[in-house]
Structure 1
Amino acid sequence: MITNKFANQVAIVTGAGQGIGFEIAKQLSLAGAAVLLNDLSAELADQASGTIKALGGNCHPFAGDASDIGFIQQMVDEAVRRFGRLSIVIANAGITLFGDFLNYPAASLQSVMNLNLQGSFFLAQRAARQIIAQKTGGSILFMSSVTGHQAHQNLAAYGMTKAALEMLAKSLVVELSQHQITLNTVAPGATLTERTMEDENYQNTWARITPMGRAATVEDVANAVLFLVSPDARHITGQNLIVDGGWTAVSTSPY
């Protein structure tokens, strides 16, 4: 990472209280960006922001529901009020609700759609309006998943939303490129996070079936994200970058 590569940039990262989102927020902040760190949990947002500040980063917590359209506008407004502008948006917040298709409840589908799709769509919309008004250009990135590329047991709803996010990024290229806004997605495979490590078999299972011999770390995914929102990727838009150690090349089932 080049120090200060993101100097004078302002970023919003949703779902960043822990895991991949936290690592993205941390790396952006330590590379010079001012970061508005969102999480549904105020406790996690405060802890994550405090950790980043202790490392020397410029980070402010902003807890709330990233699927709520009113709150999304508040996030954008707060980033501008606190830091003066908005440059980068990482729509990382998402929910995974497992369930077999034949018995999948409507409430679960609505929850997955609300956060993964509605939240990402309207965060991009409200951020784009702000960036266009600034006439500065910027970057918007959606967090996809390998389940948007390969079928995965009991994840029909989740995989559907992740595939949709990749199409959304491509569609927005048509509308936002004239404003010098890039739209990309990153699709992580199995990644070691606080949540996934609750499964005691997770690390060994994915090490066994991943060609590179291990699951991804949060640093692996964050590195890909930071590249796509950096000046180095200013002519890359409408693209998806898979970070899975080669798993989608072979697609061995963990079951």
Structure 2
Amino acid sequence: MFNEQVAIITGAGQGIGFEIAKQLTFQGVRVALNDVDERLADEAVKTIKESGGNCIAVPGDAADVSFIKDMVQQTISEFGKVTIAIANAGITLFNEFLEYEPESLYKVMQLNLGGSFFLAQEVAKQIRAQNSGGSILFMSSVTGHQAHKNLVAYGMTKAGLEMLAKGLVIELSEYNISVNAIAPGATATERTLGDASYTETWSRITPMGRPATVEDIAHAAVFLVSPFSRHITGQTLIVDGGWTSVSPSPY
């Protein structure tokens, strides 16, 4: 299905990003796996290789434009091209709006919006040069659709990513590049499962009776960068077990 495809996935040392990387390698995609934590990136790649996947680690800060350029070049040096970019890296800094510090806002914006924007730009330039077509996928959130307490800045960036996906339809369709977003709801990951009440709370308020698994999100991501979705672009797929249809607060 993924004939000769090469993907860059940021923030993929664990959680959703790692599962997307793993699922894509199962389909034969060659993957450049990024994480800011070098140890996590190396361990993730080791695990994928042990399962037979073709993957390299490219550790570094996905908010740094210079690093993004280097990462794309490392991917090309290793695999000869890049056809898929999945901007999964993001940061959540909780605080009340009236107490939110400028440093926190700029940090969230630089990675969630800036890192995603410039990864898409750099990969799109390469896809244009290759004349190969390709796919770009942003990782949004249900907080870009429904207000969450203490997550105004984060939700703002996630809503912005969905508009970025729409806007790039005008800019990139002529190069046969599709651009979409996924908005996950509550998802059981290494980070969220550190909260003992997380699964209980979200199972109670999610219509499907449980939070998402990383596999739920990864399967949607694989679809949106696959040949099966070539005529889908500028869209956001919400994967939340129905939560945004009813939107009860977890607080």
Report TM bin, short chain.
over 0.9
Count of residue correspondences: 251
Q: Does 1:207 align with 2:206?
A: no
CA distance in 2: counterparts of 1:160 and 1:168, whole angstroms = 12
Name the aligned partner's letter for residue 85 of structure 1. K
Query: What residue is the counterpart of 1:163 in the other structure?
Result: 159
| Corresponding residue SS for 1:75 | helix
Mapping of 1:1-255 within 5 angstroms? 5-255=1-251
CA distance in 1: counterparts of 2:167 and 2:178, whole angstroms = 12
CA distance in 2: counterparts of 1:90 and 1:140, whole angstroms = 6
- Where in structure 2 are there 5+ consecutive unaligned residues? none
After superposition, what is the alpha-carbon deviation per residue over 1:14-60, rounded to whole angstroms, capped at 9, x for unaligned?
Answer: 00000000000000011100000000000000000000000000000
**What is the Cα deviation at residue 64 of structure 1?**
0.1
| Corresponding residue SS for 1:151 | coil
CA distance in 1: counterparts of 2:107 and 2:2, whole angstroms = 34
| Corresponding residue SS for 1:127 | helix
| Corresponding residue SS for 1:169 | helix
| Corresponding residue SS for 2:95 | coil
CA distance in 2: counterparts of 1:103 and 1:115, whole angstroms = 21
- % of aligned pairs identical? 67
After superposition, what is the alpha-carbon deviation per residue over 1:205-249, rounded to whole angstroms, capped at 9, x for unaligned?
Answer: 000000000000000000001100000000000000000000000
CA distance in 1: counterparts of 2:68 and 2:45, whole angstroms = 19
| Corresponding residue SS for 1:221 | helix
Name the aligned partner's letter for residue 219 of structure 1. E
CA distance in 2: counterparts of 1:25 and 1:155, whole angstroms = 27
| Corresponding residue SS for 1:139 | strand
**What is the Cα deviation at residue 124 of structure 1?**
0.3
TM-score (norm 1): 0.98
**What is the Cα deviation at residue 7 of structure 1?**
3.2
TM-score (norm 2): 0.99
| Corresponding residue SS for 1:153 | coil
CA distance in 2: counterparts of 1:71 and 1:195, whole angstroms = 25
**What is the Cα deviation at residue 6 of structure 1?**
1.8
Name the aligned partner's letter for residue 134 of structure 2. G
Name the aligned partner's letter for residue 110 of structure 2. N
**What is the Cα deviation at residue 165 of structure 1?**
0.2
CA distance in 2: counterparts of 1:97 and 1:202, whole angstroms = 18
